[in-house]
Amino acid sequence: MPNKKFAHWFLHFQQQTLTLNERRLVVLVGDNYWASTLLKSLDGINCCGAKHSRSTWLIYGDSQHIKANVAKQCFRDKLGSESDFVVFNDAELSIDAFAALSGTLVAGGVFFLLVNDLSLAKQQLFYQRFFSLLANFSEHVLIEQGIEQGIEKTQLLLPEIGPINRQDSLNSTKTSLAYGCKTQEQLNAVTAVIKVLKGKRNKPLVLTADRGRGKSSALAIACGQLLKDATKVYPLQLVITAADFGSLTIFFNQLAANLPDGELQQGKFIAKYGSVEFIAIDQLLKGKVSASLLLVDEAAAIPIYLLEQLLPRYSRLVFSSTIHGYEGAGRGFTLKFQDTLTAKFPQWLNLHMHQPIRWRADDPLERLVFDACLLNAELPNISADVQQIKPSQLLFKHFSAAELAANEQLLKQVFAVLVTAHYQTKPSDVQMLLDNQHVRLLCLLSKQPLAPQVVAVALLINEGKFNYNNIAAKDISAVNQSKRRLKNHFAPQSLLTQCGFEDAFNYHYLRVMRIAVHPQLQQQGIGSYFLNKITDFSTLQGADFLASSFGATKRLLSFWLQREFQLTRIGFRKDKASGEQSALVFKALSQTGQSALTDINAEFYRSFDYLLTDEYKYLAAELVALIQHHYPPSLLSTLSTRDKGNVEAFSQGHRQYSSCVFSLHLWLKHQLASYSTQQDENLLVLVSRIMQKHNISDVCRDYGFTGKKALEQHLKSTIKAQLST
């Protein structure tokens, strides 16, 4: 009986959702068996694998009664697809997966969130806030399993469905636009894509939007129109790439609908005088692929350094991407890649789509997700008086998670500043801020009495022996043997497994996970002042080390090394999001820490020379020069009289390169260590050729030399100039 009652109630609930062209959330609070019986009562449900359903159900989280069809680690693969219903059955309530899967729902869709014990969920500050926000929405409902003395009640209490008191149904907003576009913004996007092919070369288009704005459909409509205009004399070869072919389902279906005479094959659509073909980005970069126009869909999910490699290869490019953090590289696409575009193609066009197509504006599910995950946190504008302030006039404050949860305005400001500076921000970062007991939030604030503004933010995490005295020796041994990873122990695990530091877990670390200064106040010394305050705070906490790990660029690594941090490791692989190799730096805060760090830093440099010809062979020469500049003086080999003679003889053209190269190598290390590496960029050619052993053709290509003779002359003249200073 309760199941029939629920099915009847849900029929009216969903009909209202469809009429209003929106998506809604239904929270089912109870055990999985109870929830599964309610879901199975709905006509056409596919939650147990039945194939008769005409609706698309995505089920995340497996249980005995409800079988998943979305693997836990693969929820991002569903981005770009569409669903009618989502069942979210995850005991850990992964907010990253929640946010991503909510974006697949079309208008009329319902998201079922299954919660076994609401009281347990509400013990977390993040979910206290989530359910508090949920209570503000009349459209979303919470249904609880009634239990009385251990027996389930037969009476199911269902919320009343009120009458529709708005006129904003889908039919009332229909307009007639060219190409069958649903909104003026979509039409603008289609027109812009077409212009990339038909207009001037080297003017890339970047098309961004939140989910559900019809971005992928706009690409398909534009490609369809271009293929219609193609002729036998001017056929078109259009290419589209993406992180995953499965995310292009909407694109190819829309293309087939626009051109019914074409033929849709696996990964390719063929029209009379042209085609659109999916080619993976690694294949595009391996060889020369001819393309009249190259489209990159969900570009934020592709590593930045791969996107950058496309720029010199193709003159007509469209980059399309959803911009929120749970889409992959997320903010990195907005912050980092678009800076690269500006430097190389100042006339590139940026177009953002605001108006939703898959659901109505002000959709209740989108509003809830945006509010809960702070995806709409806006960066506050810094007032004029604060912009003139000196760093020493700012207030340094440590906020507890409870203080943050109790102050929504502060939480939004903090998160907005963090998002502007970091390219891998995720919805779960809000969760971490509020619920990870080992995380410390530090801020710099203006001292305005009524409304202090957040100027800078840092997230630190306690790692190592602090509050972890219960770590078993067998767990550390398992880490050392690469059999397991311990959560919240990045720094000591890296030292143990990557640097061979056996005593790593005997020290207390505070690691800077994120540090950001408001963009309006950067380059004013605030970052350095903030880091000094963080160092003082960490010392008072009894930490042995202050640590940080980040994508190694010259600017960023220089910032940390200039503030008495020391290198312990450079990663061997490029980060998928940033395209940079990671740097791990430490600053000793205790006497025992200093002794250990001197040894660890020396070990890093002891192997660095050897790795430069292998694992670090393609590390940027400017990074190599910067790292060599901080070479411990005690480790530098003394230049013998013969070494000095070899260097002088080579610079005068009296000796061959190969007979002098070892002496040149030793001499160059002294040169880089002796003064700022920024003073002479000509030294970078020497770094590439002498230290990293790049072959002659590669060095000539990278630095624009005509051949071996010109390169060798440059080496000689640069060394001669250095010897004369």
Residue 149 pLDDT class (50, 70, 90 cuts):
very low
Question: Which amino acid type is present at position 374?
Answer: L
In 3-state terms, what secondary structure has residue 183?
A: coil
- According to DSSP, the β-strands at 566-574 and 581-588 are antiparallel
Inter-residue contact 194 to 222 (CB < 8 Å): yes
Q: Walk me through the domains of the chain, giving residue ranges and CATH numbers.
A: 2-159 (3.40.50.11040), 183-353 (3.40.50.300), 390-611 (3.40.630.30), 633-724 (no CATH)
Residue 685 pLDDT class (50, 70, 90 cuts):
very high
Give the tens place of pLDDT for each residue, 296-340.
998 877 878 789 889 999 999 999 987 754 344 445 566 678 788
- According to DSSP, the β-strands at 151-152 and 147-148 are antiparallel
Query: Order of strands across the sheet with 545-551?
Result: 395-399, 439-445, 454-464, 508-517, 545-551, 581-588, 566-574
Q: DSSP string covering 95-121, please?
A: HHHHHHHHTTEEEEEEEEEEES-HHHH
Residue 419 pLDDT class (50, 70, 90 cuts):
confident
Give the tens place of pLDDT for each residue, 185-211.
999 999 999 999 999 999 999 999 888
For range 482-496, the mean pLDDT: 87
Higher-pLDDT residue of 79, 249: 249
Is 0.75 topped by the overall pTM?
A: yes
The pLDDT value recorded for residue 469 is: 58
pLDDT surpassing 60 at residue 153: no
Q: What is the mean pLDDT of the chain?
A: 88
% of the chain residues with pLDDT over 70: 91
pLDDT surpassing 50 at residue 615: yes
Give the tens place of pLDDT for each residue, 344-373.
999 999 999 999 988 999 999 999 999 999
How far, in Å, CA of 347 to CA of 196, rounded?
Answer: 12
The pLDDT value recorded for residue 175 is: 66
Residue 678 pLDDT class (50, 70, 90 cuts):
low
- Between 215-224, 318-327, 606-615, 696-705, the lowest mean confidence (pLDDT) is in 318-327
The pLDDT value recorded for residue 423 is: 56
- Between 184-193, 204-213, 434-443, 556-565, the lowest mean confidence (pLDDT) is in 204-213
Inter-residue contact 711 to 705 (CB < 8 Å): yes
Range from 302-311, 386-395, 713-722 that averages highest in pLDDT: 713-722
The pLDDT value recorded for residue 155 is: 67
Give the tens place of pLDDT for each residue, 43-101.
654 444 334 456 789 999 988 888 899 988 888 778 767 899 999 999 888 999 999 89
- 3-state helix, strand, coil split of the chain in percent (to 5) is 45, 20, 35
Give the tens place of pLDDT for each residue, 4-15.
889 999 999 999
How far, in Å, CA of 693 to CA of 313, rounded?
Answer: 27
How far, in Å, CA of 655 to CA of 278, rounded?
Answer: 55
How far, in Å, CA of 538 to CA of 550, rounded?
Answer: 19
% of the chain residues with pLDDT over 90: 64
For range 146-156, the mean pLDDT: 59
The pLDDT value recorded for residue 154 is: 57
For range 671-684, the mean pLDDT: 77
Alpha-carbon separation of residue 569 from 97, 408, 464, 552, 585 (angstroms): 32, 39, 18, 11, 7
The pLDDT value recorded for residue 723 is: 92
Q: Is the dihedral of CA 709, 711, 717, 722 positive or negative?
A: negative
Question: Which amino acid type is present at position 665?
Answer: H
pLDDT surpassing 90 at residue 585: yes
For range 556-582, the mean pLDDT: 87
Alpha-carbon separation of residue 654 from 80, 545, 687, 693, 716 (angstroms): 65, 51, 22, 22, 11
How far, in Å, CA of 293 to CA of 222, rounded?
Answer: 11
Q: Which residue has the tokens 């880490």?
A: 479
Residue 470 burial class via C-beta count within 10 angstroms: exposed 0-12, middle 13-18, buried 19 and up: exposed
